[in-house]
Structure 1
Amino acid sequence: MHLERNKSDKKDAKRIYEYGVERRPEIYAMPDTEYFECRSLNNAIHDLTKEITKFSNQIYSIKKCPFDTKMIEKSFEKIIKKLSEEKQNLEIILQQKLVAWEAEMLKLVTSVKGIGRRTAAELIIYTQGFKDMNSYKQLISYAGLSPTEYRSGSSIRGRVRICKQGGKQLRHILYMCGLNAKKTNSQCKALFDRLVEKGKNKKAAVIAVCNKLLKIVFGVVKNKTMYQDNFIAKSA
């Protein structure tokens, strides 16, 4: 470790040089142009979603006013309608770009029950087409769903929680997928029911389902095999 009291550009450059000599990191490769196009579209969709939510909340709050607010409500509803149309158009374009960029991967990810096209797009874009993903644990960590423990001696014993150091939007979308998968995906449903029976609260069980989904997604992508809901039963 290099513990120093002072900092300067010269010292920073030296440490970077030493890191390069000692670790020999791979030369950075610029992502494909298609990745940047898809990411820009995805970010725009997120922005439109936030605006729609904002105006929807304003309509809800303004209805509580003790005076007539119908004109304002109609104005906001028109804005929401227009924003929703633009969002839908961008989602269609995004899917077209994804097909041109990672058609096979999109097909593999969407084959998993509980993962829709919107979530598949989020996963592919966020991981740059699962680049440098060597294990499902890395994917779970990327999404901020890996467990973290806070404990010291016998007196400090914090609850095990998810770290949340990852993609907030991806985590939110995956949670909604988890709610769907615990009903439609047989493997996820079995996991959810087993954890609830053991006394786990339902929210923690849904998080476990999200991790299960990511594990399955990683498997189908790396093995380049379409998801089979009864794969275990067939191989047994």
Structure 2
Amino acid sequence: GSHELVIAQGLSQASSKFIKLPVQTIDNTIEAINQWIETLGENVHIIFEQTGTYNLPLSYALTLHEITFSVITPSQSKGFVKSMKVTHQHDGVDAALLSLYGANYQPAPTSIEDEHLHHLRQKRKHLSTLMTQKQAYENQLHALSFDPRADKLVIESLELLQMTLQIQITKFKEELFTLDDDQHKHLFGLIKSVVGIGDASANALIIASDGFKNFSNVKQVLKFLGIVPIEKHSSKSVHKNYGLAKTGLGYVRAILYMAARSAKKYNLACVAVYQRQRALGKAHKVAMIAVMNKLIRQVFGVVKNQTLFVNDFEFAK
């Protein structure tokens, strides 16, 4: 839940009695979590499900205490529940199942995002919200412009809201985008040299990442944009595919998806990725996400190496 954390500890094997495993409930606050952490022994590995912003206090506190933890997706836990054939669930059962999941699969540790990138993501999201709201008010004003009996007070209110939002939009654009014109032009040329990347996708990537200045590796970029690998579990096996994390920048991903449609036809490495995924029986959407992943790796490569893209580079080795 959003206000409480339900904890089950020490489960290491499947048992018909795990539903009766004693659980502990604590408040979902930094103070309460810190007190609980003090009771933990050494070499612990905490497993919990991604719940939007509600799991952030736990992630942050565990990181400060240098305790290993793994965040799994709802689809992962749902698949595991099906494999265990559990029909009656409540918070205690869910906590016990997560403990058992960790023991069975030993998921890779999760690390929280760099603080600068965390703030950058929040500002990007807020800017996107401001722009959406401003557009909504513009649409209302446009509609009212055809009404000869439109209420003047309503129009004045909408115009004031529109002006206020524009001030905030300008403020956040200045805060977020620090590249000068020459830097932007240079980066634009490098990124657009990647086959499949057009004007819109090049600009979107430059603006969203602030020229990739604060990213030390491509995995950070993929996580920031929300193009990350996920695991899906069935009752018999574990399948790993690329999935789109909802925590990323949706509008950038939408533009990248369009770029991937071109890349899978003309970018030789992306063509190979798409064909390989399809040959493995992957769905078209999964293959396209893999192409998006490849595109970002290529873009990051040309930016960090400051070299133009060569379409047949990987095949000429």
Structure 2 length-normalised TM: 0.44
Match of 2:301 among 219, 225, 234: 219
1:117 paired residue number: 203
Compute the displacement of 1:228 (Å): 1.5
Q: Which has the higher strand share?
A: 2
C-alpha distance in structure 2 between counterparts of 1:88 and 1:22, whole Å: 39
Q: Which 5+ residue runs of structure 1 have no aligned equivalent?
A: 24-28
Distance change >3 Å, CA 78–CA 21, structure 1 → 2: closer
C-alpha distance in structure 1 between counterparts of 2:189 and 2:41, whole Å: 41
C-alpha distance in structure 2 between counterparts of 1:10 and 1:95, whole Å: 37
C-alpha distance in structure 2 between counterparts of 1:182 and 1:21, whole Å: 42
Q: Is the 8 A contact 1:146 1:163 kept in 2?
A: yes
The number of aligned residues is 211
Q: Is the 8 A contact 1:45 1:90 kept in 2?
A: no
**Residue 190 in 1 paired to residue 274 in 2?**
no
Match of 1:48 among 122, 130, 143: 130
1:54-100 Cα shifts (integer Å, max 9, x gaps): 3467689x79xxxx85748x959968986896688568745762349
Compute the displacement of 1:129 (Å): 0.9
Q: Which has the higher helix share?
A: 1
Please say which of residues 74-83 and 106-115 is displaced more in the overlay: 74-83
The one-letter code matched in structure 2 to 1:12 is: I
Q: Which 5+ residue runs of structure 2 have no aligned equivalent?
A: 1-7, 11-22, 27-31, 44-61, 69-113
Match of 1:139 among 221, 242, 245: 221
Larger radius of gyration: 2
Distance change >3 Å, CA 112–CA 41, structure 1 → 2: same
Give RMSD over aligned pairs.
5.5
The one-letter code matched in structure 2 to 1:227 is: L
**Residue 180 in 1 paired to residue 259 in 2?**
yes
Structure 1 length-normalised TM: 0.55
Which protein has greater RCO, CA pairs closer than 8 Å, 6+ apart?
A: 1
Question: What does residue range 20-31 of structure 1 map to in structure 2 within 5 Å?
Answer: none
Q: Is the 8 A contact 1:178 1:210 kept in 2?
A: yes
